[in-house]
Amino acid sequence: MKKNEYAEYLFHQGSNYTSYDYFGAHRTEDGIVFRVWAPSADAVYLTGDFCSWDTSLPMIKNDDGGIWSVLLSASDFGDCSRYKYIIERDGVFRYKSDPHAFYSETLSNTASLFFDIEGYRWSDGNYIAERSGNAAFLHNDIMLPKPINIYEVHLGSWKKSFDGNYLTYSEYAEQLSKYVKEMGYTHIELMPIAEHPFDGSWGYQVCGYYAPTSRYGNPHEFMYFVDKMHSEGIGVILDWVPAHFPKDAHGLYEFDGSPLYEYQGRDRMENRTWGTRCFDVGRTQVQSFLISNALFWFEKYHIDGLRIDAVASMLYLDYDKEPGEWNPNSDGSNINIQAVDFFKKLNSAVDKYFPECLMIAEESTSYADITNKRGLGFGYKWNMGWMNDTLDYLATDPYFRSSKHSKLTFSLMYAFKENYILPISHDEVVHGKRSLLDKVHGDYNQKFGTIRTYLAYMMTHPGKKLLFMGSEYGQFREWDEWGELEWFMLDYQMHSKLRDYVKALNHFYRDTPALWENDCSWDGFAWIYADSSDDNIFAYKRIDKLSRQVIILLNFSARHYEHYPVPVSSGGWYRTLLNSDDDIFGGNNNGPNKAIRAKKNTNNTYEISVDIPPLSAVIISKDIKK
C-alpha cells in the first residue's frame, strides 16, 4: 500500500480534481486499499461483513492532514461487499458510509458496496466526438448555435413496472430513449441520481456523491443508460447538489465527530428550511471533494452537463435567514465570497478538462454575470424570472390579461444579458402549485388552447428549453414522486393530441434554425407587435444567420381575429408552418389558409392579413417556392 504524497498535497490544497482515484476503495495488486479523510478522529476502523462489523481492522493515519488508510486482502473482499468506516472520537463510535464509494445501499440500508467501475466498454465515440464542437462556443461564453430542448425526468416516477416496482437502468434506457427521440427532445435532465436515502427528497439530499443510486441497478448499468441515450443522439444532464447535504447519521454530517464537510460557524452551517447542512466551500479539501465529483460524472459516466441546484442559496449569506441570523462581510454586503470563488474555480476546472460539457446554474436572483468568464463562468442559467412571469399570465382570465401584457414581453429586456434556459420544471408542478395544464385559466377546452399557445411562445422565445415530464400531454394531477406519471390520460383525445402537438412543435423547433441560431442577440429577434395589450396579441420574428425569418403570432385572448394585419418585409406569398388550432392538435380547425399573399400598401410597405383563432399560435414564413 503506497502513499501518494502528491495526491494528498493537492487534496489539501484544494486542487486534486481526481480525488476519486485516490480516496475510497480501489483494487491494487496487493488487495483492496481504502482511504478516508477524517482529521479530527481519534481512530478510524474499516468494518463490514468481512469482520462481522467490529473494530478489528484499524486504519493508519497517513499525515497531519487526517487521511487514514488500510489494505484488505482481496480474498476477504469482493464485488458488492458491504463496508463502512467506524469513526472514533472522544469515546463515541460513528458508523459512516464511504464518501467516495462508487456504489451504495439505499433506503433503509446504508452500507457502501465495493464496485470496480472500470471495464465498461463504451460505444459512444462518435457522439463524444461530435459533442466536442461545443467547446469553442462555451469557452467564449457564446450560446450554442444549436437546438437544446430538455426533457426533465425523475426516473423513479416516469414509469414503473406492472407490479409497482422501479424499472432498471437498462429498462429505462430502452423505453426512455425511444420516447425522447420520438418526441424530438435533444437532452434529458435527470433529477439527482446520486445515492440518497429518502425517496421523498427527490434526490436533493445526497449521501453518496460518487454513487449512482442502486434503486435502478449498478454503476455499469447506469453507464449503459448513458451509452444508450448517446446512441440515439440524446444528451444526458444530471442535477447536481453542491449546496447542502442531509443530516443522516451515515452520511457526511459531522463526519469525523465535528463539522467537517459543513461550515463550522452557526451563521452558515445549516439551511433551516431544508433541514440540511451547507458545504463549507471555502475549505480546500471540500473544494477537492466537490470539484472532483463534478469531473467524475463527466470522466467516468460521459455525462453531457450538470445542472447546479440552489446556486442562490450558496451565493447569499442571508439566504433564508432573518436579521441577526447571519453575519455580513466587512463592507456590510451579503455575498458569500467563498461561494463566488468556488464557482469560478469549479467552472474553470470544467472548462479546462471538459470544455464541451454544459454547466447550468439554477439561480433565481439578479446576480450579474452568471454565464461569462468575468463572472461565475457557467454556460447557462435558468431564467426563473421568465418562468414566474409567464405562469402568472397563464393563470389570469383573458379578460384581464391586458393589464399583465408585460409579463410576456419584459423578458426581452434582459434576454441577452445571460445565456438562458427557459424552464418549466418539477418545482412548478408540486406542493399545491398544480400541474402546468391545471394552472391555466379557463374551462377544459380553453386550458388546452392556452397551453398550446403558451408552449409555442416558449419554443419560439430566445433561449434554450426545458419541460418537466408529464407536461407534454397535460397531466392534470400534480406530480407525485411515489407513483408513476398518469399515462392513462393519453386514452383521452385532448391529452393525446396535446402530446402530438408538443411532438410536432419540438421537431419544428429542431428543424428551424431561426429559432436557435441567434439565441443570444437581437440579430435573431424582432418585435412586430409588442404592445397590443388590448388584443392580447404578441407578434415577433425569429431570424437565422442567413436572414431567413419566421413570423410568430400569439393570441392569448378568447376573441377570433379573422383579418389581423401583420406587416412583412416584402411582397409575395407566405405560408402557414404551424397552427395550434389545427384539429389534429385538438383545436377547432380555424386559422389562416396555407398560402397567404402579401399586399402592397400606398407607402410601399407590405402586409398580410391573417386569420388568428382564439387562444392560438400561428407561425408563418415567406414561401420561397412561390
From the candidates 362, 389, 472, 611, which is the catalytic residue? 362
CA distance 161 to 321: 43
Catalytic status, residue 362: yes
- The distance of Cα 205 from the centroid of its chain, to the nearest Å, equals 16
- 71 exposure class (CB count in 10 Å sphere: 0-12, 13-18, 19+): middle
Q: Which residues, 6+ apart, have CB-to-CB distance to 571 below 8 Å?
A: 598, 599, 600, 606
Q: Where are the alpha helices (DSSP H) in 418-443?
A: 436-439
CA distance 293 to 326: 29
- Residue 555 near residue 612 (C-beta atoms within 8 A): yes
- Residue 30 near residue 64 (C-beta atoms within 8 A): no
- 491 exposure class (CB count in 10 Å sphere: 0-12, 13-18, 19+): exposed
From the candidates 195, 256, 304, 309, which is the catalytic residue? 309
For residue 340, what is the enclosing H or E element? helix 337-353
CA distance 52 to 32: 18
For residue 526, what is the enclosing H or E element? strand 525-529
Strands (E), 173-242: 187-190, 194-195, 208-212, 235-240
β-partners of residue 381 are 361, 420
Q: What is the sign, positive or negative, of the torsion defined by CA atoms of 562, 567, 572, 578?
A: negative
- For the annotated catalytic residues, the residue numbers are 309, 362
